[in-house]
Structure 1
Amino acid sequence: MSTEVRQKIPVPRRSFLWSLNETSGEILMHVGPTEFTPSANDRIVRSNGRGGFEQASMEARPFVVARDGEYVVLENPVRDTHADDAAKNGAFIAGGNKEKELVSGTKRIIPGPCSFPLWPGQSAEVRPAHKLGANQYLLVEVVGEVEERAPYYRLVIESAGLSSAVIDQGGEAESAPLTGPESVPAASLRLGQRIVIQGRHTQLFIPPSGIEIVPPVEESESPKEAADEDATVGLPAEVAQECNKMVALVREGVSAKQFSTMKNELRHRQELPLGQRAIILAALDHAFEARAGAGPAKRVDRGQRSGPTDPYARRAVVLGPKEFCILFDADGNPRIVRGPARVFPGPHDTFLQRGSRRRVYDAYELSEQQALWLRVITPVSRARLLAQLPAGVTLEREHYDAGSELIVRGQPSVFFPFIEAEVVNPSTREPHVGNDHDAVIINAIGIDQKKGAYVRDLRTGMVKMVRGETSYLIDPRFEEHVQRRMARESWNLWVAHAEPHKALKTSAGEEPDSFSTPWAVSIIVPNNEACLVVSRNGRRVEIGPKSILLEYEESLLALHLSKGAAKDGHHTVKTCFLQVQGWRVADTFELESSDFVKLRVKLGFAGRFEGAPEAWFQVDDPVKLLAHSVRARLRKIAREHSFARLVRELGQLIQSTLFASELRFEENGMVVESCELLKLDIVDAALASLFADAQREAVKLQITDETATRRLESERHQDQVDAEEHAIVRSAVARKAESRLVDAEADHRVDVRKLSFRFDAEDVELERKQAQSLRELEEELRAAQRRSESEMERRRSEYAIEEAHLSKVAEVDRARAQAFAEAEALRLRAIQPELVGALHSAADAEVMKAAAANMNLVSLLGGKSPQELFEHVLRGTPLERSVRDMRARSNGKNGTTTESES
């Protein structure tokens, strides 16, 4: 009997473990801090994820911890724990705790921060709070009674009122207003009801109890590669490693059935949280699509964030200015939303994704040469259509019923579809939805100057040809572009005749067949050639050089011209073109003479066509007609003449009898202008050899006779030449003497003539010099006269100028003298008294000086006073006045002095 060693298991704080008593089946929860020593009947267990328990390691497990920004999804919560906010998962004590009554099959949401142990039968998943961007939303479902005390209960109630699509278009929002809890009570929430939580109403969301997040697993959106990598970063290490292995296996290559089985097994793995399963499924979908090469790389969404994405968050459809999306409500009613906008669908709304780029469709960009085919599916008025169609579209009716069709042409413009009409594919005539606009946009056909296009009227079946140069837009309602099917042989006969580079050559092993061309058949008719164009409406002849376009039912008539050595129709060449002027044909004929000798004759013919052009093509083989007619006539002529004559005169016989003037054919207007004998052979070889030998002998005799004759003629000619040579020498001597005389006379006449010419020249030169001298003298005289006249005129002008100057100067001098005189007179009148007084004073002074010098002596001698003596001396002289003045002044001065003294 072995000794059992029992180990003590420490349970630290914020840890727990479950112990199963195998005897009673009771499971206890031991919460730290404590120590547990299991007995022989106790076993440490844990949940196996399938509702049962399994053996666990002999160690404690940590509490379930949710930090800020996290919440716990607790399965099978404890009954009646709502009243105790402190105990998030029921009250417990340190040590052993008995099992509590659980509400099986339900879940409870416990927002963080919190920590608690798990009771036996419980499981918990810690999830981060859902962070939503402005263009993200969550789809939640009511799975039970909603906890009214939850922090986001009010948001859930308000969002429940948004039953239709919410479209945020900036200032023109069409969203329904949020309703308060009074108008939408909690009792109105039904089990299974789905609600959209929009990111534009909250950036963080923790679902209340009774609300479950619906993962986007069932949606067909394929996540981006960057989003997959960011999401797998948040997985636990073991789960991330398993995910990478599965992705690598998918990339290596699995069949579609194996891939579907792998995804089904992953969906039923209950040990993995739902969010982790969604991330792994999304990564597998992306790897499978990338390996299969599902399509070209898609554009990155404008709303994609650089950080890790929430696996439960769904993206609203973000529309650009030239984008739109289509939604269907629960009743199947469609709605088209134009960008720019953010579209949040209602809980029961679905996006149309067929042919889209992640639910986004591009508007139709139409140029002036493009159009769209629209079909009205619901009755609509003219005003409604004008509001939806591009500017410039004209409508004929006031009301359009279902089934009416329109053609919308670009201006250019950007066209958005609308509910009342659908875009029709012109090829399949079926409604079109998708971004492959090239398949539905009707492009005008650009036709250059040399081309044309065939267009069939669907109402009448008639095919018309549109000639270039133009741009033609086909209306698919009533018209269609028809391609003409042609045989390779016809193409080479019609087109390659003048354009060899367009010839269609069949390779080895390829049977000649027909082909289709989208353009009207363009044919170049070469110069001096004609072709016959036939159709059901008639025929016409085209004469080159020119370029023609064939209608849809028109074709060229083919002729079969005989070829070969004998133009008998057994070997022909097919052509559609007939040379009108200067054609040449050679043919070989066998003739039989009257003496039954057969000849082979080769003739060359040259001619033209004249008359009505349509008659030129009435004979299928005009070469054969010419050969048969000439052959019959030549044989008739040959039977009337012998072999010798035919050999000698066949060319003359042909020209005189067969072609006297011109050979005409009334059947096709062919005229043979000339005929040339190219070759003549004898059919019988022996007879031909004898004829050749006889001809050679005759030629030899003829040559011998001609040689003797030429020798005789040569001798006669030589003698004649000698006689003529002597005569020529004699006449040459005489001619030389005469020539010298003639030369002397000629020299004399030349000298005389030279002298005459020289004298005449000298006379002419002398006359010229005299005339020139006379002209020079006359010129000098005229020049001297002009100079003298000019000098006289100049002097006259100078004299006149000088005279005028002197007169002016004299006038100025007179005026100045007069002015000076007047000024002097004024000055003298002004200073005359003072001047006279001054002069008198000066004279008196001088006299007095002289008298003073001798007065003493004189006064002594005369015995008189000096004054009296001086007056006596000067009496009767001009100085007497001075003495009187002096006396007067002296008296005046003395009187004044006396008065002043008195």
Structure 2
Amino acid sequence: LFITGKEQSIYFPRVEHSIIQYGDRKKHFATAIPAGEARYVMDRNTGQIKTVRGPAMLLPDPRNEVIVRRILTDRQCELWYPGNAEALAYNRSLRALTAAGAQYVAEQEVLQQRKGKKEEKGVPPPPASPAVEPPQGVAGDSFERSTQYTQPRTLTLDTKYEGAPAVNVWTGYATMVVSRTGTRRVEKGPCTILLDYDETLEVLELSTGTPKTTDNLQRTVYLRVLNNKVSDVVRIKTRDRVEVSLKLSYRVNFEGEEARWFQVENYVKFLCDHARSMLKGAAQKRTVAEFDAHGVDIVRDILLGAPGAEGQRPGLVFKENGMRVTDVEVLGIEVEDTQIAAMLNQAQHEVVRQNIELDQAEKELLVTQRREQIHREIDDARALTARRRSELAAQQAAHELQVALARVKAELDEAMERQKAEKARQEVEDVRHHSELARKKGDADLELGVEREKLNLALENLRAEADAVVKRFQAAQGGFSEALLTLGNQETMRQVAEALSVQNLIGGKNFTEVLGKLFANSPLQAVFDRVAEQANGHRVG
């Protein structure tokens, strides 16, 4: 039985059960595996070693499982952890605990060795916890507090070399993980790889030196896949049989399927050999003078191709391992033959001298052109100033004319406005006068109507009195004829007419009174008095 507390919480030892001990240990404690780390656990029965990755609390079954540590060879330490002397020393110490050729060591053996070393050095064991005395007295009577800070229980995990080997792949690098079963995978940085027990890293062997050779190969497990730089020296022979040395620097990237990146073990030699072949073949079609004058463009055109419509070069592509040369830097072009180099230098000096003379002449021409241009600009500026002054004077005169015209227009407008105002005033006066005339006419018409009504009324009264008089005269017809004879006198008729005027009638006098006043002190008074008495008599009757 392996009692962990998961299936059976309480266990009581029985006679037929024997406890497996490792040394003096009867209890087995779990091992903490932090995140990003792992432990190797070997099955005693099958020999299979599995990897347990964190975060986890590992409690192996002591009956058939044991935690082991992997031992790396010196070559693996140098390749996986370049320049890490501590890792190399640690793996050598593990190798010393085992028999020759062993690739792992049990965890218990490492712990026992560490314990033995501590005892040899005289390191005292950790102090035992002080015994806690039972409390005295009645609970709740009093309590005491410590005057010193008591550190809490802590665990320090130092698992740097206790787990599975971890490999950190940097940005721009890649490595291939190969297992003993034949599976392969590429890990591209930045990442951390925890290797299983049967996994290792693919080793690349790269050419070194300038020019690149295989005399001193550099072994590495990390492939630079972005912005990789490879330098080389290429010696070529031109069409005129002159040897030229080219110092080049290639910028390399790896693209496409990642598994192909590691199919060429020495990609540096592969690149340099192919580039040399291309340069040597193309150099036989050009002269040394062309290389001396346009060597950079010639080399870039040969290796990277001619620029396209957008100015980008296609680059040199290797389908075998997905490698692409994106740029070539020509660091130097050197002619091997010293005499030809001297001739080229002399020719170049002559060309430089001529270029200097031409440059001086061009500069003098530019100075003269510039000087004359300055004179022309001065004249243009003066002419422009004069023209500007004339324009300003014309603008001033035009402005003054506009002001005068505006003043005259304002006066005309004012006169017109006054005329309009006077006309409006006259129209208002005419309206007022017509209104007044209309009022006067209305008043006159009203007065005339009133007078006409009064006249009509008077005429009506006069007609009535006339009718009455006629009746009276008819009654006094006998004595009235005499009176009429007397009326033949014009003077008498005039008095009668005045007496019978409308004004006297309107004054409230009747016809009899008027006639009485008319004939008073006249020869007809006696006649009228008699007629009036008769008329009154008839009126009374």
Normalized against structure 2, the TM-score is what?
0.54
Instruction: Give percent identity, aligned residues only.
Output: 29
Distance 1:468 1:512, change over 3 A: closer
Corresponding residue for residue 34 of structure 1: none
- Residue 214 of structure 2 aligns to a residue whose secondary structure is coil
> What is the correspondence of 1:286-685 to structure 2 with a 5 Å cutoff?
406-409=1-4, 419-426=15-22, 437=24, 439-494=25-80, 496=81, 504=87, 517-537=161-181, 538-660=183-305, 661-685=314-338
Distance 1:598 1:511, change over 3 A: farther
Cα distance between partner residues in 2 of 1:746 and 1:583: 78
> Which has the larger displacement, 574-583 or 513-522?
513-522
Cα distance between partner residues in 1 of 2:175 and 2:339: 49
Amino acid at match of 1:555: T
> What is the correspondence of 1:845-884 to structure 2 with a 5 Å cutoff?
none
Distance 1:739 1:624, change over 3 A: farther
- Residue 18 of structure 2 aligns to a residue whose secondary structure is strand
Cα distance between partner residues in 1 of 2:379 and 2:234: 62
Amino acid at match of 2:20: V
Q: Give the drift of 1:481.
A: 1.2
- Residue 721 of structure 1 aligns to a residue whose secondary structure is helix
Cα distance between partner residues in 2 of 1:450 and 1:675: 41
Structure 1, residues 700-750: CA drift from partner, whole Å, max 9, x if none? Answer: 22212321332234224323321331222221232355468779999999x
Distance 1:745 1:489, change over 3 A: farther
Cα distance between partner residues in 1 of 2:184 and 2:401: 91
**Match for residue 387 of structure 2 among 728, 734, 750:** 734
Q: Give the drift of 1:513.
A: 9.4
Given that 1:488 and 1:504 are in contact with CA atoms closer than 8 Å, whether structure 2 keeps it comes out as no
Q: Give the drift of 1:662.
A: 2.6
Structure 1, residues 154-197: CA drift from partner, whole Å, max 9, x if none? Answer: xxxxxxxxxxxxxxxxxxxxxxxxxxxxxxxxxxxxxxxxxxxx
- Residue 569 of structure 1 aligns to a residue whose secondary structure is strand
Structure 1, residues 56-90: CA drift from partner, whole Å, max 9, x if none? Answer: xxxxxxxxxxxxxxxxxxxxxxxxxxxxxxxxxxx
Structure 1, residues 637-665: CA drift from partner, whole Å, max 9, x if none? Answer: 11221111122233333333432233221
Distance 1:675 1:416, change over 3 A: same
Given that 2:180 and 2:198 are in contact with CA atoms closer than 8 Å, whether structure 1 keeps it comes out as yes
Distance 1:586 1:417, change over 3 A: same
Q: Give the drift of 1:486.
A: 0.4
- Residue 198 of structure 2 aligns to a residue whose secondary structure is coil
Amino acid at match of 2:374: V
Equivalent residues, number: 329
Amino acid at match of 2:21: N
> What is the correspondence of 1:33-432 to structure 2 with a 5 Å cutoff?
406-409=1-4, 419-426=15-22
Structure 1, residues 835-893: CA drift from partner, whole Å, max 9, x if none? Answer: xxxxxxxxxxxxxxxxxxxxxxxxxxxxxxxxxxxxxxxxxxxxxxxxxxxxxxxxxxx
Cα distance between partner residues in 2 of 1:547 and 1:742: 84
Cα distance between partner residues in 1 of 2:400 and 2:332: 69
Q: What stretches of structure 1 of length at least 5 have no aligned partner?
A: 1-405, 427-431, 750-902
Given that 1:488 and 1:512 are in contact with CA atoms closer than 8 Å, whether structure 2 keeps it comes out as no
- Residue 294 of structure 2 aligns to a residue whose secondary structure is helix
Cα distance between partner residues in 2 of 1:535 and 1:518: 21
| RMSD across aligned positions (CA) | 3.5
Cα distance between partner residues in 1 of 2:348 and 2:322: 43
Cα distance between partner residues in 2 of 1:512 and 1:597: 60
Corresponding residue for residue 358 of structure 2: 705
Amino acid at match of 1:445: T
- Residue 591 of structure 1 aligns to a residue whose secondary structure is strand
Distance 1:728 1:665, change over 3 A: same
Q: Give the drift of 1:617.
A: 0.4
Corresponding residue for residue 347 of structure 2: 694
Given that 2:239 and 2:285 are in contact with CA atoms closer than 8 Å, whether structure 1 keeps it comes out as yes
- Residue 571 of structure 1 aligns to a residue whose secondary structure is strand
User: Which structure features the higher share of strand residues?
Assistant: 1
Cα distance between partner residues in 1 of 2:243 and 2:32: 67
Given that 1:488 and 1:514 are in contact with CA atoms closer than 8 Å, whether structure 2 keeps it comes out as no
Cα distance between partner residues in 2 of 1:744 and 1:548: 93
Structure 1, residues 289-347: CA drift from partner, whole Å, max 9, x if none? Answer: xxxxxxxxxxxxxxxxxxxxxxxxxxxxxxxxxxxxxxxxxxxxxxxxxxxxxxxxxxx
Q: Give the drift of 1:455.
A: 0.9
> What is the correspondence of 1:715-754 to structure 2 with a 5 Å cutoff?
715-736=368-389, 738=391
Cα distance between partner residues in 2 of 1:579 and 1:709: 51
Distance 1:703 1:656, change over 3 A: same
Cα distance between partner residues in 2 of 1:467 and 1:603: 47
Q: Give the drift of 1:551.
A: 0.9
Distance 1:718 1:454, change over 3 A: same
Q: Give the drift of 1:471.
A: 0.6
Normalized against structure 1, the TM-score is what?
0.34
Given that 2:78 and 2:84 are in contact with CA atoms closer than 8 Å, whether structure 1 keeps it comes out as no
Given that 2:176 and 2:184 are in contact with CA atoms closer than 8 Å, whether structure 1 keeps it comes out as yes
Q: Give the drift of 1:673.
A: 2.1
- Residue 441 of structure 1 aligns to a residue whose secondary structure is coil
Given that 1:662 and 1:671 are in contact with CA atoms closer than 8 Å, whether structure 2 keeps it comes out as yes
